[in-house]
Structure 1
Amino acid sequence: MAEQLPHPLRSDAQDNRDRVLDAARALFSERGLDVPMRLIAREAGVGPATLYRRFPTKQTLIDEAFIDELAACRRIVEESCADTDPWRGFTSAIEGLCVLNARNQGFVNAFMSANPEADTFTEHRISLHRQLSHLAQRAKRAGALRRDFVMDDLVLVLLAGRGLSSILPSSREARARRFASLAIDAFRERGAELVAAHRPR
């Protein structure tokens, strides 16, 4: 008998899963990992039976939420690195990561404090650091990124951006985008805008 392939979730089931994960990340960010499952179900707008059918234990929910968080982070970096314009890709990565960190950093911090030896996170960080370093070199060669930039500068910006997670959720994303814009201006090579403006089209 041929091996049965897993079936994708129905659209309503996928919608329920996404809403549960979104609610879980938001509550974990604000209140830590001790949030009751029933509260997560209520915030997601699903019944407890639906929640437990997809996530039989809280640890399952925590792990899947964290995996989704890493996937979102990786997607931002990979899409930025794929941009044919390295400066545009570099700035897109900064903005995307700042917004993501501001939105869910509290959850990431809570997860890492409960799982201090999470090898998946270490591997993820090393891989994305390598990709962003390569993108930065491309942006330097294009004359758009300041020549004295080092990757520790970007790490410093992302670390500083963690403070945005303490802002009210309603204004967090706008503040994160503003913070990213200021960082991008600091990273821009002097005269790069003038060169771009006079470049033949």
Structure 2
Amino acid sequence: MADRLRADAQRNRAALLAAAREVFAEHGLDASLDEIARRAGVGNATLYRRFPTRRDLVAEVFASQMSGYVELAETALAETDPWAAFVAYLTRLFEIQATDRGLSELLVTSRFDDDERLADLLATAQRGATQVIRRAQAAGRLRPDFARQDISLLMRANAGVLRSSAEPDAWRRYLSLVLDGLKVFKDL
């Protein structure tokens, strides 16, 4: 019974998580906790009572979003065309990066060491990504030397594109160029 929150405490917790999602998406993982409390309409003491550390808040906010990251691979693996699955997978990853700075930073920096739930979700997502890659390679459509770790490199490069370009959709052009470089053209 001790784990149950009063109705007002539940509302405060939900407001804090919603505000944190917004603020982290806009400003990244180092966003102001004061801003999160302000947007949630609660005081800092309420924020720290519910989430004693920034890490606690980050883990709670991103656990559900990391579940979505796991589902990306599952959705790609359901696609019958392995190359289309790989393209859709990378496209969605880059889209996430472009729209959610906090999740992008979390995925790029892999700050999961101290949270078992996020680390487990990341490991599951990485296994799924490996399957997506291997299917596209087995179909002869993706370069055989491409590895799952290359996705992290591509995301880091895309983070640079997102930071430095005045064009909000520059990531789409970058992704198109990357995919052209990764694709095995059978007709050549």
Mark yes or no: TM-score above 0.5.
yes
Corresponding residue number in structure 2 for 1:199: none
Q: Please state whether the residue corresponding to 1:87 is helix, strand or coil.
A: helix
Q: Verify the 8 A CA contact 1:87 1:145 in the aligned structure 2.
A: yes
Note the 1:1-201 alignment, pairs <5 A.
19-29=18-28, 32-33=30-31, 35-37=32-34, 39-40=35-36, 42=38, 44=39, 46-48=40-42, 56-57=50-51, 59=53, 60-102=56-98, 103-104=100-101, 105-106=104-105, 112=111, 116-167=113-164, 171-172=167-168, 174-191=169-186
Seen in structure 2, the aligned counterparts of structure 1 residues 116 and 132 have a Cα distance that, compared at 3 Å, is closer
TM-score of the superposition, structure 1-length normalised? 0.64
Distance in 1 (CA, whole Å) between partners of 2:149 and 2:106 is: 24
Amino acid paired to 1:175: A
Amino acid paired to 1:47: G
Q: Verify the 8 A CA contact 1:24 1:65 in the aligned structure 2.
A: no
Q: Please state whether the residue corresponding to 2:23 is helix, strand or coil.
A: helix
Q: Verify the 8 A CA contact 1:29 1:108 in the aligned structure 2.
A: no
Q: Aligned pairs, how many?
A: 172
Distance in 2 (CA, whole Å) between partners of 1:111 and 1:136 is: 20
Q: Verify the 8 A CA contact 1:98 1:176 in the aligned structure 2.
A: yes
Alignment RMSD = 3.8
Distance in 2 (CA, whole Å) between partners of 1:108 and 1:151 is: 13
Distance in 1 (CA, whole Å) between partners of 2:167 and 2:36 is: 22
1:80 is displaced (CA, Å) by 1.5
1:133 is displaced (CA, Å) by 1.8
1:127 is displaced (CA, Å) by 2.3
Give structure 2 stretches of 5+ with no counterpart.
5-10
Q: Highest CA radius of gyration, 1 or 2? A: 1
- Say which is worse superposed, 75-84 or 140-149, in terms of deviation: 140-149
Seen in structure 2, the aligned counterparts of structure 1 residues 166 and 75 have a Cα distance that, compared at 3 Å, is same
Seen in structure 2, the aligned counterparts of structure 1 residues 165 and 22 have a Cα distance that, compared at 3 Å, is farther
Kindly, what percent of the aligned residue pairs are identical? 21
